[in-house]
Amino acid sequence: MMPAEQNDPQEMDEMAKERILVVDDEEDILELVRYNLSAAGYRVVCAETGEAALEIARDDSPDLIVLDLMLPGISGLEVAKLLKDEAKTRDIPIIMLTAKGEERDVVTGLELGADDYVTKPFSPKILNARVRAVVRRTDKVQPDKAAVVKTDDLILDPGRRKVSVRGKEVDLSYTEFQILLFLSRRPGWVFTRSQIVDAVRGDNYPVTDRSVDVQIVGLRKKLGGCGSYIETVRGVGYRFKEIA
């Protein structure tokens, strides 16, 4: 492995970004992630077990956790659940590292409160991009519930409950409007179908995958060209396209 480029210590201090906890029991992957995030200017601390990850998270409150789901002892999912159940750690964003074919675990992790996921084997560039995106979202102030949402040709006005595409008003049902508003306020975030229904209808509303899918199909159709802003994440759910 090529040595990291040496930087002036004072410059590194000035450019130091968020502190990231990386958790993985595979030494090669742990070093790969540490090397690339450090090269990007992040301060990185590593853990090889869920128990160590919990101790570090509770003591040091990292700005973000990159968490492998397949860990010896306490699994990554259990680590995520414990962190999200505690007031001190529940707001720490989590990016899950998952193996192919673990769609069920991805869904469970997102419903526990994880923010994103990357599938192994992964490109370090993609992981860095996901980290930047989560950090950027976390840094943003919580959106005003009455604030107008504008994305290119699409405008949502929550106060007036109006949606327009290229200046033309679109007639949406209550549920369609709420789904669109929920997703558009968090561009780039992946949400499961259960999370979408909980946000729109509440925890006690009966949910089926088909009920959400039908609403999304109708919503995309009514939005015309802007319907492509709602992206399907196969096996997981939906997200609103993040536009630079």
| In the chain, where the domains are located | 9-139, 149-240
Q: Which of 30-39, 138-147, 174-183, 187-196 has the lowest mean pLDDT?
A: 138-147
Q: How far apart are CA 154 and CA 131, in angstroms?
A: 27
Kindly report, residue by residue over 20-36, the tens digit of the pLDDT.
999 999 999 999 999 99
Weakest-pLDDT range from 83-92, 138-147, 190-199: 138-147
pTM greater than the 0.85 cutoff: no
pLDDT at 49: 95
pLDDT digits (tens, 9 = 90+) for 47-73: 999 999 999 999 988 999 999 998 988
pLDDT at 201 > cutoff 80: no
Q: Which is it for the CA torsion 176, 181, 186, 187, positive or negative? A: positive
Per-residue model confidence (pLDDT) at position 33? 94
pLDDT confidence of residue 62: 93
Instruction: Tell me how long the chain is.
Output: 244
Q: Identical fold at 9-139 and 149-240?
A: no
Q: At what angle do helices 209-223 and 174-184 cross, to 10 degrees?
A: 90
CATH architecture of the region 149-240? Orthogonal Bundle (1.10)
Q: Read off the amino acid at residue 162.
A: K
For the domain made up of 9-139, the CATH class stated in words is alpha beta
